[in-house]
């Protein structure tokens, strides 16, 4: 909430200045023109350490000569004061060019280093490792990942921006991601279907639980400056609390996919080696496997969220005047706690839900088009018969000797 208070105060002062300027001078306030273009460092004119105004903290400051590489001012050479990051001669970066609406003066500042080539190298390394060690399953996984990203970019985000309920849109898109990703990666079979049904049920329940938790803990959703900017850009038409709920559900998907597929396959393998065992016993054995999985995954999810919030944790740990309980009570921390707890609850519930669905579905007698046993069930029976025959032959040979 402190972000909102600071932003609101700034907006109020700016609005007052804007109104007085408009009234006294009779002019319409026009926003500054801002463009971001690529530029290259030609020369480091000076490099020194300066204290940040109002603090005793020293920070490096450069004066650099740069050449603009694109846009209306392409090939123009300018001098820029850089107090953001250290740049080297020949390095390409993004330059922020702001033109004042009142005085027409040009302001230049360093925005970001140009890191896309390095990012693409890392992405290429990821693809290479997946292709070498993942084989056909790795390729299917990559296709599934691309499909998931496309659904998020072209269905989820536009749906939220158009004012639809973030909770309903997120559950719907999450279900599509589950269906598309699962069948592309693991094929069309009963095992995949049972995992899909288990995931959809878990996501739906987790979404409802997240909805209740956000309202129960009185979270506003404005836990970061990015959310404030998104809300302002959309002129308040986005349901920020719903956006928070949707984020909790989306954040659960990756780990949920892993545990649900694992449980479904566990049930399938148990049925393969012991098709005569009662379904209740199969369920109990599969749950035993799932419990071991839960311990590792819950820890992974919690540590992942702590890792993301590590700089913020360090910032507040340096404040000696604020108690630990007051820090935890802040929305920015309470949000992460609620996110972690709800996500963990969803993972835990995924085990019994997916296992129950898998046992129910995989123990049913599958029917083919002609009323016979399905192809997958026939394959399982053939494998079991072959294993029994092989065991019988081995037993006979041992007695013969």
Give pLDDT tens digits for 119-174.
Answer: 999 999 999 999 998 888 888 888 888 988 899 889 988 888 887 888 888 888 98
Q: What is the edge-to-edge ordering of all strands in the sheet holding 58-68? A: 77-82, 58-68, 33-51, 92-99, 106-113
pTM: 0.68
Percent of all residues in the chain with a pLDDT value above 90, rounded to a whole number: 19
Question: What's the pLDDT score for residue 319?
Answer: 64
Is the pLDDT confidence value at 360 over 80?
Answer: yes
Average pLDDT over residues 97-104: 80
- 25 in any annotated domain: no
Question: What's the pLDDT score for residue 26?
Answer: 47
Question: Residue 328: which domain range?
Answer: 134-364
- 350 in any annotated domain: yes
Residues 104 and 138 in one domain: no
Question: What's the pLDDT score for residue 197?
Answer: 94
Confidence of residue 383 (pLDDT cuts 50, 70, 90): low
Beta bridge partners of 47: 62
Is the pLDDT confidence value at 63 over 60?
Answer: yes
* β pairing state of 106-113 and 58-68: unpaired
Rounded to 10 degrees, what is the CA torsion of 133, 137, 143, 147?
-120
Residues 329 and 289 in one domain: yes
- 123 in any annotated domain: no
Nearest to 268 by CA among 361, 184, 196, 181: 361
Average pLDDT value over all residues in the chain: 78
Number of domains in the chain: 2
- 392 in any annotated domain: no
Question: What's the pLDDT score for residue 215?
Answer: 87
Average pLDDT over residues 266-284: 88
- 64 in any annotated domain: yes
Question: What's the pLDDT score for residue 301?
Answer: 66
Rounded Cα gap, residues 309 and 297, in angstroms: 19
Alpha-carbon Rg of the chain, whole angstroms?
A: 29
Kindly report the CATH number assigned to the domain that includes residue 47.
2.40.50
Residues 251 and 337 in one domain: yes
Residue where one domain finishes, among candidates 83, 113, 143: 113
Question: What's the pLDDT score for residue 389?
Answer: 54
Average pLDDT over residues 196-217: 91
Residues 172 and 317 in one domain: yes
The position carrying tokens 């907006």 is 11
Residues 173 and 220 in one domain: yes
Residues 337 and 200 in one domain: yes
Question: What's the pLDDT score for residue 356?
Answer: 93
Question: What's the pLDDT score for residue 386?
Answer: 54
Residues 84 and 150 in one domain: no
| Residues 70-84: b if buried by 16+ CB within 10 A, e if exposed | eeebeeeebebebeb
Is the pLDDT confidence value at 385 over 60?
Answer: no
Better-scored residue on pLDDT, 234 or 69: 69
Residue where one domain finishes, among candidates 78, 113, 148: 113
Rounded Cα gap, residues 120 and 125, in angstroms: 8
Question: What's the pLDDT score for residue 369?
Answer: 40
In sign, the C-alpha dihedral spanning 257, 165, 244, 11 is positive
Question: What's the pLDDT score for residue 83?
Answer: 83
- 142 in any annotated domain: yes
Q: Is residue 47 classed as helix, strand or coil in its secondary structure?
A: strand
Residues 6+ apart with CB under 8 A from 161: 234, 238
Kindly report the CATH number assigned to the domain that includes residue 241.
1.20.1640
Residues 222 and 354 in one domain: yes
Is the pLDDT confidence value at 372 over 60?
Answer: no
Is the pLDDT confidence value at 398 over 60?
Answer: no
Question: What's the pLDDT score for residue 368?
Answer: 40
Question: What's the pLDDT score for residue 390?
Answer: 54
Residue where one domain finishes, among candidates 81, 113, 145: 113
Rounded Cα gap, residues 240 and 230, in angstroms: 9
Residues 157 and 296 in one domain: yes
Residues 100 and 163 in one domain: no
Average pLDDT over residues 183-192: 87
Residues 74 and 154 in one domain: no
Residues 169 and 317 in one domain: yes
- 67 in any annotated domain: yes
Lowest mean pLDDT, pick from 72-86, 147-161, 320-334: 320-334
Is the pLDDT confidence value at 7 over 50?
Answer: no
Residues 6+ apart with CB under 8 A from 176: 151, 155
Give yes or no for a contact between 195 and 358, defined as CB atoms under 8 angstroms apart. Answer: yes
Question: What's the pLDDT score for residue 77?
Answer: 92
- 385 in any annotated domain: no
């Amino acid at each position: 909430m402190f972000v909102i208070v600071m932003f609101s105060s700034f907006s109020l002062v700016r609005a007052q200045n804007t109104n007085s300027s408009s009234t006294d001078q009779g002019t319409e306030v026009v926003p500054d023109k801002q463009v971001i273009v690529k530029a290259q460092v030609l020369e480091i004119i000076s490099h020194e350490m300066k204290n940040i105004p109002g603090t005793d903290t020293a920070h490096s400051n450069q004066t650099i000569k740069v050449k603009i590489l694109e846009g209306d001012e392409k090939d123009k050479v300018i001098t820029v004061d850089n107090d953001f990051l250290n740049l080297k001669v020949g390095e390409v970066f993004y330059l922020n060019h702001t033109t004042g609406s009142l005085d027409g003066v040009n302001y230049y500042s360093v925005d970001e280093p140009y890191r896309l080539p390095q990012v693409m190298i890392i992405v290429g390394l990821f693809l290479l490792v997946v292709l070498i060690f993942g084989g056909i399953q790795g390729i299917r996984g990559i296709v599934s990942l691309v499909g998931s990203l496309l659904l998020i970019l072209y269905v989820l985000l536009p749906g939220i921006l158009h004012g639809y309920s973030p909770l309903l849109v997120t559950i719907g898109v999450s279900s599509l991601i589950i269906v598309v990703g699962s069948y592309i990666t693991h094929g069309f079979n009963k095992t995949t279907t049972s995992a899909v049904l288990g995931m959809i049920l878990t996501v739906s329940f987790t979404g409802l639980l997240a909805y209740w938790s956000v309202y129960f803990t009185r979270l506003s959703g404005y836990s970061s400056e990015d959310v404030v900017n998104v809300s302002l850009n959309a002129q308040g038409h986005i349901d920020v609390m719903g956006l928070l709920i949707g984020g909790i559900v989306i954040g659960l998907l990756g780990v949920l996919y892993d545990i649900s597929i694992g449980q479904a396959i566990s049930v399938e393998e148990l049925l393969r080696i012991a098709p005569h065992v009662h379904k209740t016993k199969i369920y109990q054995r599969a749950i035993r496997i799932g419990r071991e999985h839960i311990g590792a995954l819950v820890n992974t999810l919690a540590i992942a969220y702590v890792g993301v919030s590590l700089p913020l944790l360090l910032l507040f740990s340096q404040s000696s005047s604020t108690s630990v309980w007051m820090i935890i009570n802040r929305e920015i921390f309470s949000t992460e706690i609620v996110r972690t707890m709800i996500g963990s609850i969803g993972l835990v519930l995924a085990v019994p839900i997916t296992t129950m669905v898998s046992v129910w579905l995989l123990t049913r007698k599958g029917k083919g088009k002609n009323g016979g046993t399905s192809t997958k069930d026939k394959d399982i029976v053939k494998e079991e018969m072959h294993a029994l025959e092989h065991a019988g032959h081995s037993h006979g040979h041992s007695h013969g000797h």
